[in-house]
Amino acid sequence: MDHWQDIVDTQRHPIEDLDSYAVRCRSELQNNSILILENFLTKKALVELQREARSLHHKAFYCSQNHNVLLTEKNTQWEDDHPCNIEVISDKGCVPHDLIPPESYLRKIYTAEQFQRFIQSVLTVDKVHPYADRLSSINYNYYQEKQQLGWHFDNASFAITLMIQSSESGGGFQFVVNARNAEKNTVDIPLIKSVLLDQSPVEELQIKEGTLILFCGRNTLHRVSPVASQTPRILATLNYNLEKDIELSENARLTFFGRLQ
Residue 87: what residue type?
Answer: E
Q: What is the largest CA-CA distance in the chain?
A: 60
User: Fold for domain 4-257?
Assistant: Jelly Rolls (2.60.120)
pLDDT per residue rounded down to tens, the chain (261 residues)? 578 999 999 999 999 999 999 999 999 999 999 999 999 999 999 999 999 999 999 999 999 999 999 999 999 989 988 999 999 999 999 999 999 999 999 999 999 999 999 999 999 999 999 999 999 999 999 999 999 999 999 999 999 999 999 999 999 999 999 999 999 999 999 999 999 999 999 999 999 999 999 999 999 999 999 999 999 999 999 999 999 999 999 989 999 999 998
- CB under 8 A, 24+ apart: contacts of 80-83: 82/189, 83/189, 83/192, 83/193, 83/196
Reported in sequence order, the residue ranges of the chain that DSSP labels E, i.e. its strands, are 34-37, 61-67, 88-95, 129-130, 138-143, 149-152, 159-165, 173-176, 180-181, 186-187, 203-205, 212-215, 221-224, 233-238, 240-241
Q: Running DSSP on this structure, what letter comes out for residue 232?
A: P
Q: Model-level pTM?
A: 0.94
Terminal CA-CA length for the chain:
31
